[in-house]
Structure 1
Amino acid sequence: DQDCAPGEVCDLAVQQCVTACTPENQEVVCGAGLVCDERGRCVECTRDDDCGVGLHCNTETSRCQGENSCLTSRDCLPGQVCNPQTHQCTEPPPACISDEDCAEEMVCEVKTGRCVQAGCEPDLAEPNDSPGEAEPLAAGRTDDLRLCEGDIDWFSVTLVRGDRLMVIVQTDFLASQRFQTVLFDPAAEQVLQEDSLLIDYTVDSAGDYLLRTQTLDPRADYDLIVYVSRGIPCDDDDYEPNDDFTQAAVLDAGVHTGLAVCPRDEDWFVVERSPQQRLVVTMEHPAANGQLDLDLLAGDGRTLVDRSAGAGDTEVVTAAPGARTRFFVRVYGAPETQNGYQLTIELTEER
């Protein structure tokens, strides 16, 4: 008020000086339903007589209110909330545990215990339910995405050889374990990487790579953050795909060169021998470029026969003569490791 001229007060709502009211001019300055208080401001009430039947004047707010009237939950007693429809303080509704606890056309959001509107409105990227409908993504943020029940979202990212693509999914923490993000090759035939909320992959050829998101929840709201930077491409060897024992490539005795492990990749091979033969598998690689380890497994693909996981350039595993005639060879490293290597398979007769 000190910023205003004599006979004026500051209207904080509009931050302007307005004419101060008096008991004599309040009908003109304040209008119907308002009275003038001692500060020269137009208010709803200054005493209970200014309010209707069943209401009293709250002298702190200069508003008429009933016993349980409220504007926000801060106006209510501890343990009560303000109902925005009736502006009355009430007991908070109990947390729902199923849709049966909610009103018609409402469903229970179990993780919050709140009843929310039923139905799931699609996001603006729809329809993008197939590779052919994939929504183009550029580097940066894409917000306000939504997966409804049974929905799958497809996106495409244009990359050149050596581009490192990083995709971060932001969604409700409690829902992250039921969220799936998968990166496919441009033909949508090969899974390049799969995770819940993070993709980090360097491509070895140019193309429109495909990203698929889905959830096991009835609904998931999420955002995507896309980064594209320069990485080091990794060229697969001619034995791919051989990423588990069901895809193992057959190796004969001898030296096999030009092999490679790429990030989040492992190589599997199968070797046959006679019961009288000793099997020796030697792997050579430049460990300074990324450490690789070597396993020898029985014919079931699970039972470990020998392991070599040292810090040097050479790893060796061995199987003595015996009843087992079929073995799997597994070459692997840390998730981010990429390196070239060669394998030497030696079969020696022992009697």
Structure 2
Amino acid sequence: MSRASVLLILLLFVACTSDPAKPTPDAGPEATACEHREDCEGGQVCGTEGFCGPCESSGQCRLKERCDADAHACVLREGWGTDCTVSADCELGMWCREGLCRQRADVVLCPSGSKDECPSGQRCDTANFVCEEDLGCVEDADCGAEERCNTGLHACVPRCTEATAPQVCASGEHCAEGRCVQCEADAECGPGLICDVAGRCAATPRCYSDRDCTVPLQCHVPSGACLPALPPCTSDDGCAVDQRCDVGTGTCVPRACAPDALEPNDTPATAYPVRASRYVGLTLCADDVDYFSITLERGDQLGVNVEADAFAEPAFSTTLQDASGRVLALGHFLATHVAAVPGTYTVRVAAQGSEPRSYDVGFFLSRGTPCDDDSHEPNDTSATATLFTAGAVIEGMLCPQDQDHFLLTVPEGQGVRVSLSNYVATDGLLRLCLLGGDGTQELGCSTEASGATVSVSGSIAGGRTLTVRITGDDARTTNGYTLQAELLP
């Protein structure tokens, strides 16, 4: 065969085996050279050949994007936008969440910057201190200060050191480059196993999220396989109303509300003793209430954070009580209180409705400044009001979640003037009210910044026993005050 014939065959072989889908340097004006995803427009990604082209996996897109299976282009994930980066980009009173300006009622705040303040499946955006959908991570910058990005898991994990590894890492894990792993090389795994990109020993490479699969395949996390379609269910939404999803098997099973591992804890007497930790996989069945007990020292600030379906937040009630049953703090998913006296405190978690509610709950301790009750407690209700006479001077203290009540008897034919003074307006406004003796009829109220006075004439007050009520501007108010009363002709 001649040299020319050989050359012709080689050229034909190269032409036939070339992949027309991959742009080459001479592919024409539509092929854009790139180094990063940001160099490409129209949702294209930067391919291994250094040119912009279609995406094959969401892992090639930005964190807030996914690869559209039809267009093979990166598009924003559902619920995300590009209208704002910080809340200052929005109109006054609006908050930036997931790149969109939202009303205050549509956001959950996380003022400390911790994801523990956010519902399950969300984390705190520390630029705006609002809770957003947890999309995982692609680099450490996507995580909190005390976290690192495990790029194999696509998840933020606690940052560890050799010293903290026994507390931070799970059994069988060690600390490597600031994150907990099972292995760093195949040799650290058993025979036939490999060390995968997440630092875990596995029989074969597996997926940890849809970002690991080519579209339109989806990651079945329990098996680690990329599948054309997931098993029958991945959540209760894929089952009939009388069924729930067993995520481990991907099958729908009868919706029987089974008690969780901490039951029975339906009464204060059977409260489950807890410590500063998280308790997961808990369930509230119909008409169920869960109680937890925790021992606090003076100055301990307890934060209780319930994690559940964000849309179920209005149905939840979280209450902190002292040994006498007095309510010290309450909220839906969050409650916090600084203990003024050492002792055992009780946390009550309940939910409205007949459907089972799954939740996790975390108990977090820090140091705070306690609010010491005055000597007139307990006087949180009209029924427990403290006796009070005209001319007397009472020094009181209003603590968070507190109300103070006093009973005052006015002689026939006389009126009364009640005044509140010596409280610091910047510590929270106090509200003074005069009520009928049963505490239901409001006769007059005052809310002044530097003091409060309420007067009632003799035609209304004469010959009656009145209730003086002092409340805070909100449930967190902590303020001292001086209470006085004088009779009027």
Establish whether residue 218 from structure 1 lines up as the match of residue 358 from structure 2. no
Match of 1:255 in 2: 392
Q: 1:298 to 1:213 in 2, by over 3 A?
A: same
**Cα drift, residue 193 of structure 1:** 2.7
- Higher relative CO (Cα under 8 Å, sequence separation at least 6) belongs to 1
**Cα drift, residue 167 of structure 1:** 0.5
Q: Tell me the distance in 2 between the aligned counterparts of 1:157 and 1:346.
A: 45
**Cα drift, residue 263 of structure 1:** 0.7
**Cα drift, residue 298 of structure 1:** 3.5
Q: Tell me the distance in 2 between the aligned counterparts of 1:254 and 1:322.
A: 21
Aligned with 2:434 (options 275, 278, 296): 296
Tell which deviates more after alignment, 203-212 or 213-222: 213-222
1:308-323 equivalences under 5 Å are: 308-312=446-450, 314-323=451-460
Are 2:376 and 2:386, in contact at CA under 8 Å, matched by a contact in 1?
yes
Aligned with 2:421 (options 260, 284, 290): 284
In structure 2, stretches of 5+ residues that fail to align are 1-226, 246-250
In structure 1, stretches of 5+ residues that fail to align are 1-70, 75-81, 85-92, 100-105, 109-113
Q: 1:115 to 1:272 in 2, by over 3 A?
A: farther
For residues 38-65 of structure 1, the C-alpha deviation after alignment (integer angstroms, 9 at most, x for no partner) is xxxxxxxxxxxxxxxxxxxxxxxxxxxx
**Cα drift, residue 332 of structure 1:** 1.5
Number of equivalent positions: 251
Amino acid at match of 1:137: V
Establish whether residue 195 from structure 1 lines up as the match of residue 323 from structure 2. no
For residues 323-348 of structure 1, the C-alpha deviation after alignment (integer angstroms, 9 at most, x for no partner) is 44232211111321112212111113
1:48-67 equivalences under 5 Å are: none
SS at the partner of 1:280? strand
**Cα drift, residue 116 of structure 1:** 4.7
SS at the partner of 1:208? strand
SS at the partner of 1:177? helix
Tell me the TM-score normalised to structure 2 length.
0.46
Match of 1:343 in 2: 483
- Bigger radius of gyration among the two: 1
Tell which deviates more after alignment, 152-161 or 171-180: 171-180
**Cα drift, residue 168 of structure 1:** 1.1
Aligned with 2:380 (options 230, 237, 243): 243
Match of 2:278 in 1: 141
Higher strand share: 1
Moved over 4 A (4+): 93-96
Q: Tell me the distance in 2 between the aligned counterparts of 1:345 and 1:154.
A: 42
Are 1:285 and 1:339, in contact at CA under 8 Å, matched by a contact in 2?
no
Higher helix share: 2
- Provide the identity percentage: 36
Tell me the TM-score normalised to structure 1 length.
0.63
Aligned with 2:401 (options 239, 260, 264): 264
Are 1:150 and 1:218, in contact at CA under 8 Å, matched by a contact in 2?
no
Match of 2:157 in 1: none
Establish whether residue 176 from structure 1 lines up as the match of residue 324 from structure 2. no
Are 1:127 and 1:133, in contact at CA under 8 Å, matched by a contact in 2?
yes
SS at the partner of 1:322? helix
Q: Tell me the distance in 1 between the aligned counterparts of 2:278 and 2:238.
A: 37
Q: Tell me the distance in 2 between the aligned counterparts of 1:188 and 1:329.
A: 23
Match of 1:52 in 2: none
For residues 106-136 of structure 1, the C-alpha deviation after alignment (integer angstroms, 9 at most, x for no partner) is 479xxxxx97523123322233334344333
